[in-house]
């Protein structure tokens, strides 16, 4: 029986591979039409900061009422919570005044959904009126914008936060009415006394009529006397003497010059 050997397969000639076409870019519209969901990386929520200081405190130069103090605290809070700050607003006005330029601009931006959350230090920075606060809450909820009072740990989106907003808003309005009532009582008392502030009209004189009569006599006898010496001898204040001499005497008595002495 003959044995057959298997022949080795002959190598096939190599054919160069066809170049691959570059991958097509993503077409979100076609993928969405095909029912493919695209997962995007979550973005940091956008936040707007709002600060308000009182006009009275600003006029008095109170550094604690600098809006930058509030904004600095809000920036730290935003960084700690992972918010992306997209806008900052500040007003110098009374909390009882609802017509504030920056507040209105912020509310308009909220309606356009330019941010997701508004950060404030306290609720009274927005308004001191409960009616205005509740109206603003409804507008922000309709726009889908959250409100957080950082110092009071109040968040509008939570049920507890909504309850706290009602309670603190009512307390702020009560406090404002109490202050207004005290001011009205003080003005009524001042009006009853005949003055706007309640203090007696004018200032009590710092000298007696006898002192002024003595000063006039000394001026007539010694027209060259200095005001300092005249004040020492009469017990009157130097500035008071100057004012009285100008107002009542028309100035100091004339001192005779050398020519007048020679003619005499």
Determine the Cα–Cα distance for residues 230 and 147; give it in Å rounded to an integer.
70
Instruction: Report if residue 18 sits inside a domain.
Output: no
CA distance 110 to 89: 12
Residue 259 lies inside a defined structural domain of this protein: no
Residue 11 has a pLDDT of: 66
Is the residue at 77 inside a domain? Answer: yes
Q: Which domain holds residue 221?
A: 209-253
Residue labelled with tokens 């230090």 = 121
Question: Has residue 144 been placed in a domain?
Answer: yes
Question: Considering 169, 187, 217, which residue would you say is the last residue of a domain?
Answer: 169
Residues labelled catalytic = 54
Do 152 and 224 fall into the same domain? no
Residue 185: both structure tokens together: 């009582």
> What's residue 263's pLDDT?
42
Tokens (6 digits) for 40 = 């995007």
Counting as low any pLDDT under 70, the low residues of the chain are 1-29, 31, 38, 40-41, 55-65, 96, 98, 169, 172, 190-191, 193-206, 251-264
12 belongs to a structural domain: no
pLDDT of residue 50: 97
Looking at the fold, whether 138 and 220 belong to one and the same domain comes out as no
Last residue of a domain, which of 119, 138, 169?
Answer: 169
> How many domains are there within the chain?
2
pTM over 0.75: no
**Is residue 164 located within the same domain as residue 54?**
yes
Q: Residue 196's pLDDT is what?
A: 53
Task: Tell me whether residue 26 is in a domain.
Answer: no
Inside any domain, residue 199: no
pLDDT of residue 8: 64
Residue written as token pair 């935003």: 78
User: What CATH number does residue 150 fall under?
Assistant: 3.40.50.1390
Specify if 31 maps to a domain.
no
């Amino acid at each position: 029986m003959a044995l057959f050997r298997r022949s080795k397969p002959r190598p096939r000639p190599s054919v160069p591979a066809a170049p691959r076409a570059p991958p097509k870019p993503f077409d979100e519209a076609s993928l969405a039409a095909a029912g493919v969901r695209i997962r995007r990386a979550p973005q940091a929520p956008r936040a707007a900061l709002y600060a308000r200081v009182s006009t009275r405190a600003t006029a008095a130069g109170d550094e604690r009422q600098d809006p930058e103090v509030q904004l600095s605290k809000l920036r730290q809070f935003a960084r700690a919570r992972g918010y992306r700050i997209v806008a900052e607003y500040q007003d110098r006005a009374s909390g009882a005044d609802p017509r504030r330029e920056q507040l209105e601009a912020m509310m308009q931006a909220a309606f356009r959904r330019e941010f997701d959350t508004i950060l404030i230090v306290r609720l009274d920075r927005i308004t001191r009126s409960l009616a205005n606060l509740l109206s603003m809450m409804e507008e922000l909820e309709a726009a889908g914008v959250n409100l957080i009072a950082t110092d009071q740990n109040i968040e509008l989106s939570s049920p507890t936060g909504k309850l706290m907003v009602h309670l603190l808003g009512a307390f702020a309005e009560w406090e404002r009415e109490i202050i207004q009532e005290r001011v009205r009582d003080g003005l009524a008392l001042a009006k009853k006394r005949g003055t706007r502030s309640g203090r007696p009209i004018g200032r009590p004189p710092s000298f007696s009529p006898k002192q002024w009569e003595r000063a006039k006599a000394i001026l007539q006898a010694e027209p060259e006397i200095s005001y300092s010496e005249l004040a020492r001898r009469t017990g009157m204040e130097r500035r008071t003497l100057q004012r009285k001499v100008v107002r009542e005497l028309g100035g100091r008595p004339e001192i005779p010059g050398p020519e007048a002495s020679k003619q005499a």
